Structure formats: C-alpha cells, structure tokens
C-alpha cells in the first residue's frame, strides 16, 4: 500500500488516537505532537510488519506529550518545542530529534489554488493580531497583484491545545513582527487576540476546510494530502518560497546540532534563499532512568529502525529525515544517557 493511500485510509483528518496497538507485551506507547503524526503512523505500520512490535501513539499535542512523559504514563513523549537543558535535567529526561518538516499557513478562499497566495511574516502576524481583517486589504493586495481577492472578513483559526506547531508558528511570527512578539509572543499555548480554536493539526485543518475565507496553520503533510491551499511565504533572504522537502532541507542546512544542549535546535526564520521560514524538528522525550529497561530499549529500537529505514517514507510525506551525522550523535547520546536501574546502558 502506498503511503498516500495509507494516510487517506484513515478517512478525514480526525486521526487523534491510536496508530497501532496489540496484545504483545513489547508494544510501546507514546503521546504528543500532531506535527509528526503522519510519518509516525507510516513508520508504525511498516515496523509492525518487520518486527511484530506495535506502537500506540496518541496524537494529543506537544503539551499533552510533555505532561504524559513527565507523569510516566507513556514510554516516550513527543514535542515540536524542544525543552531547555535545565528543564530536561530537572525531570530526568533526555531529548533527541526524530524528523524535520514544515508548518504552513492554509487558506480557504474560493478560486485560490495551493501556493498561489503570497504572504509575509509581518502580514500573517497582523492577521493573527486582528489588525488586518479583510482579504482585499492593501497589505495583502500589494503582495498579490492580479489575484482576485474577496472583500470578505478573514476568519482566523488557531490551535486550542498546547501545541509545538503553535510554538513554531508563533516563534516565526515573533521573529518577524515586533508587535506580535510584544503582544502575543512565542509558546506552545498563547493568548490569541482573535480567532477560532481547533484541537490538533486535524482540528485546525478541519475548521479551515469548513469555514470560507479562513486562514490557519498546519504541518505540511496535512495540507498536501488533503489538497488544501497553502500559501507562499517570504523568507529571511527576501525570497518568496513554496513549502516542500527541499525548502525544509535548506532551512535545516545550517543547524548546529552538536553545539546545542539537548539537540534543542529551532529552525524558524533561517537564512538561505531557498529556506522555508517555518521549519522545525520534532523531538522525542524519554526518561534517562528506565525502570523497565526492556521497554526503553524497544523505544530506541523503533527509532533506530526509523532512522535506517524510514527516509523514503519521510520524503514521500514531505518530511526531512535526520542526516546521518546527527543520527550518530543521537545514538551516542542514547548510550551515554539512557540507563537501567543498575546504571547500565540500555542501548
């Protein structure tokens, strides 16, 4: 089964709970970010075929994933907002990047095709601040000469839950708009001045599909697989770019993984003519002290398999696989940080 068909086989975007579960004791559990859900679902299917081990992953948002791993109710948590080194240390956690991808603004405007509309960070920020309220506003019209824009009110859609996707989106807007930074700021959960909330990438996408003349933001795979109209964005080098795995790779090219504690690299608003400005990694959180060392090892075996075998699947879904040198650094961190109750390395 091709991955596109696999993702579509779930029906609508309301994919909120289980990737896989089975009665096998070795099955692993995870919870968190909705951003990487499509690729985790694809990996889980193939990993189950290859090993017999299942993955139950709850796509509940980064904030929920952080809470669940801290509470030790899952084997791993997932977050698109990396935790700081001091926070990892305080909770006895280690963190590593699993995949990279992009967040895209999406719109529902009659007659507008995917990638047709051009926007900038400051303009998107003003829309989300409630300062630009109509699609034919001069600020938008000036970026889109010749495009027929309606004189209709813009309905703003944002995340209602704690979200790493929101972190990437608000971090980008904070970097490009001083007004947004001072009034809203960057975070997994912020106080939005206007708009309608949706739970998960799935909820935001569903609201944008349902409400005419709306704008939202989702992980690119959701937009592409459901043929939603994403926008172009003007990047730091002044170039309007389309989102795809090549522009995500360009944004990640200068990442300094080895110099950043906890691999906590944020890839928004990166330099480079081809860089997509809302690019980010999705991170896995695990406890350093694994009371159930067998379960901890199963988690690491899953991501080891994904690093080695999941690159083609990632590309098909327009994610970016982690580069080999970064994988080596991650695996070295597994060996040095993840221990069983006696202090022996799990990996």
Check whether residue 162 and residue 146 sit in a common domain.
yes
Phi, psi (degrees; rounded to nearest 5) at 4: -60, -45
Q: How far apart are CA 14 and CA 273, in angstroms?
A: 35
Q: Which of the residue ranges 98-102, 303-307, 315-319 would you say has the lowest mean pLDDT?
A: 315-319
Residue 15, pLDDT score: 37
User: Do both 109 and 247 map to the same domain?
Assistant: yes
Query: Does residue 286 share a domain with residue 164?
Result: no
Enter the DSSP assignment of 13.
S
Q: Quick check: 16 pLDDT over 60?
A: no
In a domain, 186, yes or no: yes
* Residue 185 located in a structural domain: yes
Domain membership flag for residue 259: no
Is residue 262 scored above 50 in pLDDT?
yes
Q: Are residues 115 and 96 in the same domain?
A: no
Q: Kindly give the interhelix angle for 293-309 and 324-337, rounded to the nearest 10 degrees.
A: 170
15 and 151 part of one domain: no
Phi, psi of 158 (to 5 degrees): -140, 170
Q: Are residues 113 and 95 in the same domain?
A: no
- Which tokens go with 269? 């608003």
pLDDT confidence band for 254 (50 / 70 / 90): confident
Report how far apart the first and last C-alpha atoms of the chain are (Å, whole number): 32
Task: Clarify whether residues 95 and 126 are in a common domain.
Answer: no
Distance CA 80, CA 62 (A): 6
Residue 268 lies in a domain: no
Residue 226, C-beta contacts closer than 8 angstroms, at least 6 positions apart? 13, 205, 209
Per-residue pLDDT reduced to its tens digit, 161-198? 999 999 999 999 999 999 999 999 999 999 999 999 99
Judgement on whether residues 32 and 82 belong to the same structural domain of the protein: yes
Structural domain containing residue 302: 3-102+277-340
Among candidate residues 251, 268, 289, the one where a domain is terminated: 251
Q: Are residues 245 and 119 in the same domain?
A: yes
CA angle 283, 86, 91 (to 5 degrees): 70
The reply to whether 300 falls in a domain is yes
Strand runs labelled E in the chain: 28-32, 55-59, 76-79, 93-108, 118-119, 155-159, 196-198, 214-219, 229-230, 232-234, 240-241, 279-287, 289-290, 339-340
Residue at a domain's end among 235, 251, 267: 251
Residue 261 falls within a domain, yes or no?
A: no
Same domain? For 84 and 118 the reply is no
Q: Based on the domain organization, do 242 and 113 belong to the same domain?
A: yes
Q: For residue 232, give every residue at least 6 positions away whose Cβ sits within 8 Å of its Cβ, in sequence order, or none.
A: 115, 116, 117, 118, 119, 240, 241, 242
Task: Give the residue-averaged pLDDT of 8-20.
Answer: 39
Strands (E) in 288-347, as ranges, are: 289-290, 339-340
Could you tell me if residue 346 is inside a domain?
no
**Range name among 4-8, 71-75, 94-98 with the lowest pLDDT average:** 4-8
We report the CATH number of the domain holding residue 204 as 3.40.190.10
**pLDDT at residue 11 is higher than 70:** no
Selection from 216, 131, 205, 121 nearest residue 171 by Cα: 121
Instruction: Show which of 251, 286, 315 is a domain's final residue.
Output: 251
Per-residue b/e over 160-173, b at no fewer than 16 CB within 10 Å? bbbbbbbbbbbbbb
The pLDDT of residue 141 is 98
Q: Count of domains in the chain?
A: 2
On whether residue 127 sits in a domain, the answer given is yes
pLDDT band at 6 (very low <50, low <70, confident <90, very high): very low
| Same domain, residue pair 161 and 230 | yes
Residue/partner pairs of 209-212 with CB below 8 Å, 24 or more apart: 209/108, 211/108, 211/155, 211/157, 212/108, 212/109, 212/110, 212/152, 212/155
Those residues whose C-beta lies under 8 Å from the C-beta of residue 169, and which sit 6 or more positions away, are 103, 217, 278
């Amino acid at each position: 089964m091709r991955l596109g068909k696999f993702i579509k086989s779930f029906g609508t975007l309301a994919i909120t709970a289980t990737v896989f579960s089975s009665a096998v004791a070795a099955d692993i559990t995870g919870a968190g970010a909705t951003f990487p859900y499509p690729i985790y679902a694809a990996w889980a299917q193939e990993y189950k075929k290859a090993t017999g081990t299942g993955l139950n992953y709850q796509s509940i948002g980064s904030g929920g994933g952080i809470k669940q791993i801290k509470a030790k109710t899952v084997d791993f948590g997932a977050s698109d907002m990396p935790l700081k080194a001091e926070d990892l240390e305080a909770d006895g956690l280690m963190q590593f990047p699993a995949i990279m991808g992009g967040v895209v603004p999406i719109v529902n405007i009659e007659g507008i095709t995917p990638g047709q509309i051009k926007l900038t960070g400051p303009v998107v920020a003003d829309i989300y601040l409630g300062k630009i309220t109509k699609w034919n506003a001069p600020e938008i019209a000036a970026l889109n000469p010749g495009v027929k824009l309606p004189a209709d009110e813009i309905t703003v859609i944002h995340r209602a839950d704690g979200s790493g996707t929101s972190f990437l989106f608000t971090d980008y807007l904070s970097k490009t708009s001083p007004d947004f930074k001072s009034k809203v700021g960057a975070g997994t959960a912020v106080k939005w001045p206007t708009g309608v909330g949706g739970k998960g990438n799935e909820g935001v996408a569903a609201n944008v599909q349902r409400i005419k003349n709306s704008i939202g933001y989702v992980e690119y795979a959701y937009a592409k697989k459901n043929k939603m109209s994403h926008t172009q964005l003007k990047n730091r080098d002044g170039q309007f770019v389309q989102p795809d795995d090549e522009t995500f790779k360009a944004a990640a090219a200068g990442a300094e993984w080895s110099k950043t504690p906890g691999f906590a690299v944020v890839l928004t608003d990166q330099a480079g003519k081809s860089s997509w400005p809302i690019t980010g990694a999705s991170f896995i959180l695990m406890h350093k002290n694994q009371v159930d060392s067998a379960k901890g090892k199963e988690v690491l075996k899953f991501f080891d398999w994904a690093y080695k075998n999941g690159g083609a699947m990632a590309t098909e879904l327009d994610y970016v696989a982690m580069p080999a040198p970064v994988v080596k650094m991650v695996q070295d961190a597994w060996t040095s940080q993840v221990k069983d109750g006696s202090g022996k390395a799990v990996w």
